Amino acid sequence: MYIARKFRKLDEPDYEEMNSIWAETMKVQEPLVVFPDFFDTIIESFKEDSEIFIYTCEHFNKSENIVPAEFNELPTLTKIATFVSCFKNIFTLDELHTFLLDLNISLERIKQRFTHKQYIQYITIIHIYSRILQSIGEYEVTKYSFPLSKMFTQALIPQDSKIFTSFTVNFETIYISPCFIIDKEKNKTPAFIKLLSDGTFRIFDVVEANVINILNPSKYTVIQDDCILEIFLGGITPEFSIEFPNKRAAEIVLGIYISDTPIGFNHVTTFLSSISSLNNIEKFFKNVQYVLPPEVNSNLDQIISSNGCQLLFYAMLLPPEETKISDKNALFFVSLIGNKIYPFYRCIIENNLEELQSNNIILRQNSLLTTVTSCLLKEIGKTFLANIVLKLNAIVNNTSANFQSNDMDMEQAISFAQNVFHPTFNAIVNSVSYLPNPIKSILRCFFIRALNHCVNEVGPIIVIPNLFLLRFVFPEFTAQNKENMKFISKISQSIMNVFYFHGWEADRSPPELVKLNEKYVYPLFASIPKFIQDLITVSDNDLLGPIPCPGDIKINLIDYFSPAAERFTSLNLESANSYVQDSFDLVSITQMIEESTFDIHESCEGVVFE
């Protein structure tokens, strides 16, 4: 028994109204597509060749706003692709982007937030998606549900969406590095070398920021010697030399000097290449007084606050040992995400779904996402944490003798089951009403997305309470009193066994407890589906505003983002989305489509499609 997905029961459309709205959308007098017959046409075309169907709809020319006059004479698949290309006109960029910032992007919320016409257009897409999947077998659903949702996501991107996936920055300084200028007498002068947006390299004083020199390719010849660039002015000896913190910095400056100035997204990667030089500036400028150029933080601020938050996103993908994110500064990280927190989480979850392919658990206990989320819970879920900790403390204080030993006689086993296990289980289950909606939404997002990938199918019901308890609840409880670790070590496995739909097991539990499964554990299984449902049901659109950074946290942005920046630039990206495959908005649209199509229910047989 576990929670599985099912298809949401959609109301039967008013087909006359639906046809009229699509005629208006396609800018024709009489409907060119007539539902419900066109649903059948689409399904038949998909079944004929699913791969060609998806490819054609994804790559059909979206730039045309006029449906061709010969529409009725077009091949069936071309008709369908033409119809799908009209989806770009349903929403405007601004209204869709604003909506996707919300916690609740369910079908019900769409109906409330958009016009009736937009809702009918959108529900048409959901009918198509749902009917296609329900017309094929379970294996095919597993194979095609995600590619189809991605196809409809691309189709829904608004017409005015050139900035939808853009990474727009406006840098006056594209590259910065500390350096020493070495004259012919070998005197060293500390300086900053900067590549400006006009394509010139200028060398600045480290305190007053006065220009010392300008490197002009038409004037100087430059030769690299390890971490030093030798600057020649026609002669055989250098006019002066520039010493960099490392060889890589010298290579970057020389590479840009002898080639074209970076443009577009390369402004971002070029600037992030500065981080490796700036990261150890104190060691390089030992005993040198300097003022860090203001462009360093202003450029980082632009990158961090950009539409895609790619640097923040990439920081979350680094292994924990390579990142600066910790329990102490996680709220600073959350504050940088600002009002993009829900799209951000959806995008992180989307990326982690790939781990399912190797049967790993999404949102691992030691992942940065769960670290940041647990810190977020502490900030916005004080009432919840206080409630659950109070109840657990009461159990510990009243029953301390019942969990001190692994050896139990039957009387002790019954006492443990009645006075420790059951009260703890009830305290956890009953605490869900206090759980903040933002945390529920994160769990729900994971659940819906994982189910649509249909991999590691048992995972969702195991992982949600696992995360809930081991990342959100128990750490706060043990942090208050280390003695509580004894209680947690004894009770956690017993509680988790219930969520796995297991009882006490002979190889892990005292034999007397195993004998009590039928009376004390198995009856609890019936309450698990409701508990999971409550954990991931968001009833209110409780939009979480930006979390302010705590005043006592002092962060050096260079130090904080150095690992992410270095790994990010090492990928030699050509565009913002070549690694981060989709912008936050696109991932949120996919989530929106799946939320509108699938619901969840209790199952004894696995993933069930109804």
pLDDT at 208: 84
Rounded Cα distance, 359 and 197, in Å:
47
pLDDT at 160: 58
Residue 149's nearest CA partner among 279, 58, 86 is 58
Report pLDDT digits (tens) over 145-202: 889 998 999 899 886 554 445 556 788 898 999 999 999 999 999 999 999 888 889 9
**Where in the chain is CATH 1.10.506.10?**
330-554
Q: Which two tokens mark 404? A: 């001190």
pLDDT at 257: 87
Q: Which residues contact 464 (CB under 8 A, 6 or more apart)?
A: 443, 446, 447, 532, 535, 536
Compute how many other C-beta atoms are within 10 angstroms of the C-beta atom of residue 216: 10
pLDDT at 120: 97
pLDDT at 437: 80
Encode 82-103: b = buried (16+ Cβ within 10 Å), e = exposed: bbbbbbbbbbebeebbebbbbb
pLDDT at 264: 56
Query: What's the one-letter identity of residue 287?
Result: N
Q: Which two tokens mark 515? A: 């004998």
Q: What dihedral do alpha carbons 86, 91, 94, 97 form, nearest 10°?
A: -100
- Domain 330-554 falls under CATH 1.10.506.10: yes
Q: Which CATH number fits domain 173-303: 2.130.10.10, 2.30.29.30, 1.10.1740.10, 3.40.50.720?
A: 2.30.29.30
pLDDT at 335: 79
Rounded Cα distance, 311 and 588, in Å:
19
Tell me if residue 308 falls in helix, strand or coil.
coil
pLDDT at 519: 93
Q: What DSSP letter does each residue of 441-471 carry, written as one string?
A: HHHHHHHHHHHHHTSSTTHHHHHHHHHIIII
Q: Judge whether 94 and 115 are in contact, CB under 8 Å.
A: no
Q: pTM value?
A: 0.77
pLDDT at 557: 81
pLDDT at 457: 45
HSE toward the beta carbon, residue 219, CA cutoff 13 A:
7
Tell me if residue 401 falls in helix, strand or coil.
helix
**Where in the chain is CATH 2.30.29.30?**
173-303
The list of the chain residues with pLDDT below 70 reads 1-5, 62-65, 159-168, 261-265, 307-309, 317, 319-321, 327, 351-370, 400-406, 449-472, 539-554, 571-583, 600-610
